């Protein structure tokens, strides 16, 4: 299957600072990527759809100015958490669908654990 | 709007036994895709099995098989000969056919499966 990587796997930052998380598709081109947030023992919550060369589409209730998404190339999307607060601490996961043919399953990155102190 | 329901928050099964995880969904779409993902303690999302709605034949992948009942909007996962490595959170996901260019998943709340030695 296709491989999606995320960097860093873990990050600790101080309250008020910004942190950037990278999501890369390693062996396929991804014009679309998704960013999820997952709280402990809960399901994945879709935050936004990242589109190469255009603005991201945010889900209702997600602050676009706080969670900045940039999809600069066909293999890289970044999520920047700006002015981080302890309540932003969570597990963030990205994914990318294979678009060659149905059923267009998504391949997931290993996730990034963000801790804001 | 589509919804996905997993009514079993937790389940356990003895090693080598068979277990079935349930998933129901609600949609007015006729063409869509269904998936089961496994999330072990590492939190890496792993695709277990996928089903195209237009295919009547149930998908199988080694010890994993589904019972897809389109009229009942049911998509259960059967794990045969359960192994300790099957211990994980299992998520059911729905995606409507991307004719409008969106590949978003709708996830269920998950079922935590524990395989007992």
Which conformational region is residue A107 in: left (phi greater than 0), alpha (psi within -120 to 50 degrees), or beta? beta
Residue of A nearest to B6 (CA): A43
Give the separation between CA B10 and CA A68, rounded to whole angstroms: 35
Question: Of A40, A41, A58, nearest to A49 (Cα)?
Answer: A58
By Cβ distance, the residue of A32, A106, A108 closest to B44 is A108
Q: Please identify which residue in the block is written with the tokens 């009547």.
A: B56
What average pLDDT does chain A have? Answer: 93
| For testing contact with chain A, the best of B4, B104, B110, B112 (most A CBs within 10 A) | B104
> Does residue B98 register a pLDDT over 90?
no
What average pLDDT does chain B have? Answer: 95
Looking at residue A104, what is its pLDDT? 85
Chain B environment of A104 (Cβ under 8 Å): 33, 95, 98, 103
Could you tell me the pLDDT band of residue A1, with boundaries at 50, 70 and 90?
A: low
Burial class (CB in 10 A: 0-12, 13-18, 19+), B113: buried
Chain B environment of A38 (Cβ under 8 Å): 43
By Cβ distance, the residue of A1, A44, A104 closest to B107 is A44
Residue of B nearest to A1 (CA): B47
Stretch B61-74: mean pLDDT, rounded?
97
Could you tell me the pLDDT band of residue A103, with boundaries at 50, 70 and 90?
A: confident
The radius of gyration of chain A from alpha carbons, rounded to an integer in Å, stands at: 14
Could you tell me the pLDDT band of residue A99, with boundaries at 50, 70 and 90?
A: confident
Give the separation between CA B29 and CA B95, rounded to whole angstroms: 10
Could you tell me the pLDDT band of residue A113, with boundaries at 50, 70 and 90?
A: very high
Chain A environment of B44 (Cβ under 8 Å): 108, 110-111
Looking at residue B45, what is its pLDDT? 96
């Amino acid at each position: 299957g296709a491989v999606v990587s995320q960097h860093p796997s873990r990050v600790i930052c101080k309250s008020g600072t910004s942190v950037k998380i990278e999501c890369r598709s390693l062996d396929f081109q991804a014009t679309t990527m998704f960013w999820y947030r997952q709280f402990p023992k809960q399901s994945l919550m879709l935050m936004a759809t990242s589109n190469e060369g255009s603005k991201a589409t945010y889900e209702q209730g997600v602050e676009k100015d706080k969670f900045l998404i940039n999809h600069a190339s066909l293999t890289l999307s970044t999520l920047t958490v700006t002015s981080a607060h302890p309540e932003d601490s969570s597990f963030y996961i990205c994914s990318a669908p294979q678009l060659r043919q149905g059923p267009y399953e998504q391949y997931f990155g290993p996730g990034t654990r963000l801790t804001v102190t | 709007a589509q919804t996905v329901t997993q009514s079993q928050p937790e389940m356990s099964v003895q090693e080598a036994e068979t277990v079935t995880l349930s998933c129901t969904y609600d949609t007015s779409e006729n063409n869509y895709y269904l998936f089961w993902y496994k999330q072990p303690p590492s939190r890496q999302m792993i695709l277990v099995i996928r089903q195209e709605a237009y295919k009547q034949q149930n998908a199988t992948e080694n010890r994993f098989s589904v019972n897809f009942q389109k009229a009942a909007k049911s998509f259960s996962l059967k794990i045969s000969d359960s192994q300790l490595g099957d211990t994980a959170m299992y998520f059911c996901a729905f995606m409507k056919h991307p004719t409008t260019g969106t590949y978003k998943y709708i996830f269920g709340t998950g079922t935590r499966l524990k395989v007992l030695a």
